[in-house]
Structure 1
Amino acid sequence: MFPSAISPAYAGDQPTLICFSHLRWDFVYQRPQHLMSRYAKEFNVQYVEEPIYTDEADSWLEVRHVAEGIQVLVPQLGIDAKAHPEQEQRRLLDQHLGLGTGSNIILWYYTPMSLTFSEHLHARLVVYDCMDELSAFRGAPPRLVELERRLMERADIVFTGGHSLYEAKRLLHGNAHAFPSSVDVAHFARARGQLPDPIDQADIPRLRLGFYGVLDERLDIVLIDELAALRPDWHLVLVGPVVKIDSDSLPRGPNIHYLGAKTYDELPHYLAGWDVALMPFALNEATRFISPTKTPEYLAGGRAVVSTLISDVVRSYGGSSMVSIARTAHDFTDAIQQALQKAGDRTNLLHEADLILDGMSWDRTWHQMRRLME
């Protein structure tokens, strides 16, 4: 087990886990939040977000308590810090943590970019949880590849967000382990029952085809446009924030509905009102290694899924009658019609979903990671 960290910033004898993430805690509830919420049972979790630049002269560290055992740290960098932001982030972090040389902590990285201001910290263990190939995303910093190489050299253990990513990273680290995204079955199984239709979805006619997630360069907007045109009697519901792409580039039509970002607790309510769930991902560098969390979430909600040819989806779910793989808009319409026929046999559909999800949970993922860490 891990002995206690020296951290005068916090009360109690629990060790400290410092998590560096490119994802804001309040953005979309996904892998980091699921895992850190569980690690908070035994660690003082410090979740360090990317900085926010302000027009103030001085810099300061915003500290928020978001859950039991979890603090979110957001560097607020003033005008004077813009010339040397990493140096200022290091100062703010050290000042908050109060960690001395030899302090016993766990460092957990989601982004190699954080290495620029945290590499000096002495740690009992360094974990790199590589949930995505960030260097392939739009707007990725040029330094990211080199920083990941340095992080790989320092990390004691590497977790990956899917099998395709594992096959790439295991060539770079001798202690890499695949942990595809899991699911909170009970949370999304609520969609199997009668949930109130959200106000902004209630007036959308059936038949409804739904997607929730970040709307960015990974979304196949041409496919969505073609599918909507092929079947104007079907309504496409897209739930999620628009990020890194111009919202004006999204296809428009009377049967395409953008409902914006929703909270994690709201998602089952939207899912309950869909007839079939979609994963219309583009096939590009940004999606080459993804293992979408929404696949098991849709299944837990009792919805058949139609997806594009994402490697990890094909590998993990392609043989299932619940998940159909389609290439073109015409293929999607055929697969959706088949999924609708299966949905008519509700009992068999739910049984098939339960077989796929048997034993899958974030609790299990967390326990398996902990055993490897020890």
Structure 2
Amino acid sequence: MPTIIYPPSIPWNWMFQRPQQLLGRFSSSGQTVLYEDLGNFSNPKTSLLSPSLLICQGVSAMAVPHPRPRILWLTVPSHINLIPNYDPDLVIYDAVDEPKEEFASWAPYYPTIQEKADIIFCSSSSIYEHFLNKHPHVYLVPNGVDYVHFSPAPPYRPTDLPSGKPIVGYSGAIAPWVDWELLKIVIADNPEINFVFLGALFQLNKFPLKFKNVFYLGLKSYQELPTYLHHFDVGLIPFRQTEMTKGCNPIKLYEYYATGIRVLGTPLPELLTIPKINLESKPHLFSLRLRHLLAEDDMNKAERMAYAQANDWSERAGRILHYIFNRANTNQE
């Protein structure tokens, strides 16, 4: 079995995202995974999270004995320059965002990625279309969900959730790509609704909304996140429609659906084909649709949950490993 190395990119315990989800499942299927944690560690150490998943904190994965072939898994474009440090047998770039606007600094690295990556995986159709004619081994693998983690009904209600009104919630990065201007109008139009926001600040110095019916509860651990989502009446994906968000395949969509809640978002390209989703771009129409959702009976919960279950991270990881093994076997022939 190969060893997959992930250079320091995202702290293991910070906003459990695509890299942690996929790498965790690679290890569950028998691959050795060496995850170099991001941070300053005064006491360098390695920790086994499972028999084949090792977290390296202040320790290079190259200092840990491991079997070859060695696969370098990259999600930060500038890390394409780290290839000589790892002497990999296979280089994989997993593309999750468009190199535009907030991520414009990524663009200069793309020619080198196209030259040096053996396989490129893409989380959205627009990213896939960007690479498709520029590289011979490009595959579309959207985001997913840990269905078993999110679907069970929680045993308790978090004490910091507001009560007395319906809860419309957002889970994810508190970031510039959220349409805060749209939200200001929608929230002001709906004082009879509590709006709850969960997540870490990203490229923002402070939480941008101030209303009596808005509650910013900060970043919640991955373990407790489902407990909050199950108490949302509607989950929000209110992203601005930009060149960057054109390539967003929101993980929160799958997590919302796994809990069974209804979803209201802006019409991002990646959301247009999602069954039983609600999409509006204009603030007052968004507000009207929200009130309509809260007033009507929910007839589609089972269908949403079935969609989430069909898009589990295990399916995504299995598909990726299939592509990797095919490529590795081709290299050996």
One-letter identity of the residue aligned with 2:63: H
Distance 1:149 1:194 in 2: 47
Report sequence identity in percent: 24
- 1:131-210 superposed matches below 5 A: 131-133=96-98, 135-136=99-100, 138=102, 140=103, 142=105, 144-190=106-152, 193=153, 195-201=155-161, 203-210=162-169
CA contact (8 A) 2:12 2:38 kept: no
CA contact (8 A) 1:63 1:71 kept: no
Distance 1:327 1:62 in 2: 48
User: In the alignment, is residue 335 of structure 1 matched against residue 289 of structure 2?
Assistant: yes
Residue 65 (structure 1) aligned to one of 43, 47, 56: 47
Distance 2:257 2:66 in 1: 44
Residue 244 of structure 2: SS of its match in structure 1?
helix
Query: How many Å apart are 1:227 and its aligned residue?
Result: 0.9
User: In the alignment, is residue 325 of structure 1 matched against residue 307 of structure 2?
Assistant: no
**Map of 1:222 onto structure 2:** 181
**Map of 1:291 onto structure 2:** 249
User: In the alignment, is residue 29 of structure 1 matched against residue 29 of structure 2?
Assistant: no
| TM-score, length basis structure 2 | 0.88
Distance 2:154 2:295 in 1: 21
Sort the Cα spacing of 1:358 and 1:366 in 2 relative to 1 into closer, same or farther, 3 A. same
User: In the alignment, is residue 17 of structure 1 matched against residue 10 of structure 2?
Assistant: no
CA contact (8 A) 1:163 1:179 kept: no
Distance 2:220 2:132 in 1: 35
Sort the Cα spacing of 1:256 and 1:21 in 2 relative to 1 into closer, same or farther, 3 A. same
Distance 1:356 1:23 in 2: 28
**Map of 2:329 onto structure 1:** none
- 1:1-374 superposed matches below 5 A: 2=1, 15-20=2-7, 22-41=9-28, 42-50=30-38, 52=40, 62-65=44-47, 67-68=49-50, 69-75=52-58, 93=60, 96-97=63-64, 104-133=69-98, 135-136=99-100, 138=102, 140=103, 142=105, 144-190=106-152, 193=153, 195-201=155-161, 203-247=162-206, 250-314=208-272, 316-317=273-274, 320=275, 322-342=276-296, 344-345=297-298, 348-357=299-308, 359-374=310-325
Structure 1 runs not aligned, ≥5 long: 3-14, 55-59, 76-91
Sort the Cα spacing of 1:49 and 1:170 in 2 relative to 1 into closer, same or farther, 3 A. farther
Distance 1:129 1:176 in 2: 10
- Name which one, 1 or 2, has greater alpha-carbon Rg: 1
1:40-78 CA distances to partner (integer Å, 9 max, x unpaired)? 1322211134564x9xxxxx8833426112233345xxx
One-letter identity of the residue aligned with 2:149: H
Distance 1:355 1:125 in 2: 35
User: Does 1 or 2 have the higher relative contact order (CA < 8 Å, sep 6+)?
Assistant: 2
CA contact (8 A) 2:179 2:238 kept: yes
Distance 1:44 1:355 in 2: 31
Query: How many Å apart are 1:95 and its aligned residue?
Result: 6.0
One-letter identity of the residue aligned with 2:211: G
Residue 180 of structure 1: SS of its match in structure 2?
coil
Residue 247 of structure 2: SS of its match in structure 1?
coil
1:83-103 CA distances to partner (integer Å, 9 max, x unpaired)? xxxxxxxxx748624799xx6
Residue 270 of structure 2: SS of its match in structure 1?
helix
One-letter identity of the residue aligned with 2:31: F
Distance 2:112 2:57 in 1: 24
- What is the number of residues matched between the two proteins? 323
Sort the Cα spacing of 1:130 and 1:49 in 2 relative to 1 into closer, same or farther, 3 A. farther
Residue 71 of structure 1: SS of its match in structure 2?
strand
Query: How many Å apart are 1:128 and its aligned residue?
Result: 0.9
Structure 2 runs not aligned, ≥5 long: 326-333
CA contact (8 A) 1:165 1:290 kept: no
**Map of 1:8 onto structure 2:** none
Query: How many Å apart are 1:368 and its aligned residue?
Result: 0.9
Residue 333 of structure 1: SS of its match in structure 2?
helix
